Amino acid sequence: MIERKEEMAVMQVRVLIVDDHHHAREAICEILSYQPSFKVVGVGKNSAEALRLTDEFMPDLILMDINMPDMNGLETTRLIKLKYPVIKIVMITVSDDITHLFEAIKNGAQGYLFKNLSPSTWLEYLETIISDEVPFSRDIAGQILSEFSLLQPYDNDQPLTPREREILGWVAKGLTNREIAFELDISEQTVKNHLKNILQKLHLANRVQLTRYAFENGWVRPE
């Protein structure tokens, strides 16, 4: 029994890294080495290797560069998500092009990270991705939110209560359950219960789908 508990305590998130730049792959491996809960199981330099290594290792998380020579990371992400929807994929890039943000969401990515962020920010963000807390960083969520507000009308005819719409807005802005609870002066469990109701009403499976749905349908907008 003790051995089983110890085994569970050291369970790791199995990570596949895909980037066409050697130094970038090394840097990402180094960042992940700071956190024992992450284990790099494979490293690829293009989409073909990404697809092959995904089949071989079935990672929990893929860190996928957007720009690669043969097929970009966005299309590679789409293909992987079609075959393995449970695998979490985070796009990595040096660009803050809003078009890439949209495409990442549409192709099923769970997150979006800039290469110039600090290692501590990377690790904190990836931990929240694994726990299904924050699909996108707050800054990126704000960009997407602002852009969609220009493209989509705000629809008040929706099956959510005012409180649920309020929580949906905070989720789309990238806040965790704990941060939402603080903003609304309610318990974290109450936030979780509201999210369960929202997901059930919209027939969605998780927080990532909820955020994507909110953006694409213009259900949330900047204050």
Model pLDDT for residues 57-71, shown as the tens digit of each residue: 999 999 999 988 888
DSSP state of 87: S
Task: Judge whether 24 and 66 are in contact, CB under 8 Å.
Answer: no
The segment with the largest mean pLDDT, out of 58-62, 152-156, 197-201, is 58-62
Q: Which of 73, 113, 70 shows the shortest CA–CA distance to 92?
A: 113
pTM, rounded to two decimals: 0.65
pLDDT above 90: percentage of residues in the chain: 32
Average pLDDT over residues 163-181: 85
**pLDDT value of residue 96:** 65
C-alpha span between 34 and 189 (Å, rounded) = 31
Q: Is the pLDDT of residue 118 over 50?
A: yes
Model pLDDT for residues 59-114, shown as the tens digit of each residue: 999 999 998 888 899 999 999 998 898 899 999 988 766 677 777 877 888 888 88
pLDDT above 70: percentage of residues in the chain: 79
Q: Which residues of 73-85 are buried (b: 16+ CB within 10 A; e: fewer)?
A: bbebbbbbbeeee
Measured CA angle at 134 (ends 176, 169), to 5 deg: 65
Task: Judge whether 43 and 61 are in contact, CB under 8 Å.
Answer: no
